[in-house]
Amino acid sequence: MFEIRFHGRGGQGVVFASTVLASAFFKEEKFVQAFPSFGTERRGAPVMAFTRISNQEIRERFGIYNPDCLVILDPSLAKQESTFSGLKKGSWVIINEARNCNDHSSLGIYRVAAIDASSIARKYKLGTSSMPIVNTTMLGAFARVTRELTIGSVMAAIKENSPVKSEENVHAALDAYNSVVF
């Protein structure tokens, strides 16, 4: 089983990213689960979402406490120690930020990848300039970094699930796939 925990803020599309990722894995004939975890449900509040993938039926029905990968949509959350709670040594941390992944030497027990998802989202006019929606962009980076699924499956799932700007979201994911640094 491969487990992913998404960290972001309300309004960034964290739950949508988790659901679309599950849809992409389903296209590759995997068993999947996707579910959110909310505190206060308001824009800007911390939000977590989870995705589980397996080659066998998934019977677990609880949160992900020891993920194999973290996807961090809001870089300020990478400064909080609790974000990394339970993350397995050697796991991937994919962070939305312009800084080089070498700037995260404090995360030495993890493998770090950085993508300037905010700039890519702004380029495709996803969200606003002050609050870009980076969810689909981060999925493109996830596909490249983990190699757990193809970018084609991610793009197809985005196209099927995006309520607006479907093509822009697909292009943003592909741009991130080709731009992520690790």
Mean pLDDT of 167-178: 98
Q: If phi over 0 gives left and psi between -120 and 50 gives alpha, with beta otherwise, what is residue 97?
A: beta
What's the CATH number where 151 sits? 3.40.920.10
Please report which residue ranges of the chain form alpha helices under DSSP H.
14-27, 117-123, 135-146, 151-161, 166-179
Sign, CA torsion 159/177/122/118: positive
* pLDDT level of residue 2 (50, 70, 90 thresholds): very high
CA-closest candidate to residue 50, choices 81, 80, 25: 25
Q: What is the pLDDT of residue 8?
A: 94
* pLDDT level of residue 38 (50, 70, 90 thresholds): low
Beta bridge partners of 132: 127
Name every residue whose Cβ is closer than 8 Å to that of residue 180 and which is 6 or more positions away in sequence: 94, 113, 114, 115, 140, 141, 144, 145
Question: At residue 63, does pLDDT exceed 70?
Answer: yes
Question: At residue 42, does pLDDT exceed 80?
Answer: no
Report pTM: 0.93
Beta strands in 55-105 (DSSP E): 69-72, 92-96
Mean pLDDT of 78-106: 85
Number of domains in the chain: 1
Q: Which domain holds residue 97?
A: 2-179
